[in-house]
A and B are shown apart, each in its own frame.
Chain A
Amino acid sequence: DAKTTQPNSMESNEEEPVHLPCNHSTISGTDYIHWYRQLPSQGPEYVIHGLTSNVNNRMASLAIAEDRKSSTLILHRATLRDAAVYYCILSSAGNNRKLIWGLGTSLAVNP
């Protein structure tokens, strides 16, 4: 199963951009890259996903490397409410392969 590698923790200041990296060197051609986040005492929350092209939504942007072996989740202006654990996960369309959730990156946002 393709795995992802993320830093254990990162820190940011409020209202500054945050770039959360993820390495997935064994990604296959049909694997989508998903990002979820989990706020304290809550269930995981979907953030964004993509396949090859960069993606933008109201929450964040996803930048995918040309070789697809890495990606970066971009929070354009961090707020205190963005403090959470961020998970980078691969999933394959049409393949009932179990999602592998790593330990994610714990993001702290300083006021």
Chain B
Amino acid sequence: DAGVIQSPRHEVTEMGQEVTLRCKPISGHNSLFWYRQTMMRGLELLIYFNNNVPIDDSGMPEDRFSAKMPNASFSTLKIQPSEPRDSAVYFCASSLGGYGNQPQHFGDGTRLSIL
């Protein structure tokens, strides 16, 4: 069975450019999570969707970050304009149900470097 698929795996771009990260959750899962991981702050939840609706976006750093889930099989995380401090590994995860007692399944991540 296909797991969570993220693209691209690596992205290097210059400050000020728009960055779009993509995620395909596991088929049948109705919850989707975007995380960011850095050495300094560890793993942080950015936003959580349930049934394609954003439920908790309190972790989104600022207005430069936006996330969409137009359908059950696709989500994007966009940064515009990007800054060097956005450099991190971004993970997408999906699960059956919300935070509760359902395991989250993670993709392999997108390693983002902003020069």
CB-contacts of A12-33 with B (<8 A):
32
Which B residues from 77 to 115 make CB contacts under 8 A with A? 91, 93, 98-101, 103-109
CA gap between A69 and B67 in the complex, in Å: 36
Q: Which of A34, A92, A95, A98 contacts B103 (CB 8 A)?
A: A34
Q: With A43-B109, A44-B106, A45-B106 as given contacts, are A51 and B101 in contact (CB-CB < 8 Å)?
A: yes
CA distance A78 to B108 in the complex (A): 24
Contact count band on A: 20 to 34
Our pick among B43, B93, B100 for the contact of A91 (Cβ within 8 Å) is B100
A22-57 to B contact mask, C-beta < 8 Å, 1/0: 000000000010101000001111100101000000
From known contacts A96-B55, A96-B56, A101-B43, infer whether A43 and B91 are also in contact, taking CB-CB under 8 Å.
yes
Does the CB pair A96–B101 fall under 8 Å? no
**0/1 interface trace, chain B 15-39, chain A, CB 8 Å (1 if under):** 0000000000000000000000000
For residues 49 through 89 of chain B, which have their beta carbon under 8 Å from a beta carbon of chain A? 55-56, 58-59
- For B100, the chain A residues whose CB sits under 8 A away are 32, 91-95
Known: A43-B91, A49-B103, A91-B99. A98 touches B58 (CB 8 A): yes
**Across the interface, do B59 and A43 meet the contact criterion of CB distance under 8 Å?**
no
Given the complex of chains A and B, what is the CA–CA distance between A92 and B98 in angstroms?
10
Among the interface residues B100, B106, B107, which one has the most CB atoms of the partner chain A within 10 A?
Answer: B100
CA distance A101 to B48 in the complex (A): 15
Q: List 9 A-B contacts (CB under 8 A).
A: A43-B107, A44-B43, A44-B106, A45-B106, A91-B99, A91-B100, A91-B101, A95-B99, A98-B45
Chain B interface residues (CB < 8 Å from chain A): 4, 42-45, 48, 55-56, 58-59, 91, 93, 98-101, 103-109
